[in-house]
Structure 1
Amino acid sequence: MTTPSLLDDALDILRALDPRAPRRSADRALDPLRADHPDARMRLVGHREALEDSVHHGLLITEPGVGTTSLSWTPVTAVPWSLRGTQRTAESMLLRVNGEPLEIEEAMAYLDVMWEQTALLERLIAVCLVRQELAEHPVRLDAAELQQAMDAFRRARGLLTPEATEEWMRARALGHTALEDLVEREAAVAELKRRILAEQAPDVAALDRARVAWVRFADRSDADAFASVVATRIAEDGTDAVGAFASAAAGAYAVSATVTGVEFGEVAAEVVDHGGPGTVSGPTRDGDGWRVTQVLATLPAAAGPGTDRLLADAAFERWLAGRRRDARIEWFWGSADKTPTAAAAARP
């Protein structure tokens, strides 16, 4: 896959890249190379030099199951890729408030509570996975599409005037180029979701919902007895399963100290095996107690833009789960073994 012609072509492109060009412009320079070598997985990476605001580019060419070739070129006036990364004192500093500095290591110690919030950590992993996917299989937006994405971005945040947009950018220390990059990334992720949905569309029935009632018990024996009473009343009343459940719940709540609550809610229909109205299930474990559940109504997913977005999100989450499962993940701070993903990645 990594043939001499591929390496020659890649080196020509790296030599021609403008170190001050926007990232999307530099990445587009790879399009002819990708077209000539469609089987190669290529990713352009950059290291920004803060002093002169220039970017040194490197190219990673991956052969799955074999290895990765790293290729770079540096003009005589710049620091070679292999010698970059020497840390300055300020680079270990996260921020300074009224002259009081906070270093990254200290900040990570304060944020150690994040290790209890695994959903946030999974999002950080997802950022890396999505970035890698878009680097290897870019999403291209022309000027009109980028403008549409910018308009949608501003509408979603209530930035309906130039003044409001400028104020929003100042609050986040964003320049116009950074804002365009942010909007383009958001639009690229949306297009990636549509691409994944087209490849692995989930069943619309997965979005069906069910309205349910729960009766919670402290003891399993009382939950079993309640489920038995409900089944008997349903058999006797026949058509009024919901009424039988409600009357049994009211009676149990009145006489049993082990009833810890009667609640109503909405769940995915698959949680109750797509049971129809009146279906009773349980007891099932619920924290320190047990619950018996009845389906009150079923709500099939309706076609429309909202459903399309949910389907795209579901397909995207499945794609992310697969990528996380196969990823090599390295954490450089905190107790990494607290996270399910990190623990799974550490297994042989």
Structure 2
Amino acid sequence: MTAVSVTAFAAVLAEAVELLRGLRRRRTAVPEARSLAAAWAATHPEARAQLVVGLRPDSPLVDYDLLVEHPEGGTVALSASPDDGVPWPAEHSAHWAAGNWAAGYLVTVDRVRLRVAEALMLLPRRPYGDRDVHDEIVEQCLLMNETLEDGEPLDDADIRAATEEFRAGHGLRDRASTLAWLAEMSLSGEQFEAFIAGIARRRRFRRRKEAELAPGHFAAHRCDFDRVRALWVTGSQPVNGELLRGVGGLLGCGEAVVTVGARWARDLPAPLRHAAHDTLVGPVAYGDGYLTGIVLERRVGRDDPETLVAAGETAFDEWLAGRRRRASIEWHWL
């Protein structure tokens, strides 16, 4: 998330409250509400805002919540109650205890409705990079949607890879720990096999989609896949770039972090991504301090297998983000 000040975030929250207060609460107005929320979210991309629609059983009314990412981490949930004479606690408790949650459902994403127990099984013990739990659950549901009609048989390699991925993510080191986990989750062997088959189908879909998208993405973003070896220094004080030509000269600098390595151009700090060979960059403002760097070597990106794998992964992430923007996502909170 792009860093924003607490003051700026307070202004975002104030706008979010006004947005919620202005949404019409009839079921027939939900598409309009989603459109308004999406338009507002587009003006504040750093907030990663998401509208949650709560359907009341046997009622024409709905409730809205807005999830907004805090600049220092975590998520802030906003709710707004109309001045209609109904006490807020009573109305809110009805909202959060709506029928879907009572039935054990956590979220509905398009055609997939996921139970709480299923979500707990999907989530690994270790987090996925900088994504939060909501992102991981929604991503898995989106992939489930894509594989609903997948009747193609799975081969042994698919099953083995899915099993290894699952065990690694849940810290299951051997057969004994896996059996203990199954007992804890009250899963039969047949249920576990079906669960692993689902993982395997989603892995296969992702692998094929990456291979499909890779050539086009590489052709459109070739310079992002230059292989670049660079050296850069980040710190609270600017560093003279000429010192990088003899690293010993850095010994007289204050506290700084020195990095040297080879990266895809897209993975370098932004000031270095498109710099030519032997070019000094900086010092320039970077993060909370300054960056100074030099490109030691730059090789033009080629469509070899390693590069296409990287291009496919990036293209898939972009495809998935677009798929999410088009999806209908409803959380069924308690």
- TM-score norm. by structure 2 comes to 0.47
Structure showing greater relative contact order (alpha-carbon pairs closer than 8 Å, 6 or more residues apart): 2
- TM-score norm. by structure 1 comes to 0.45
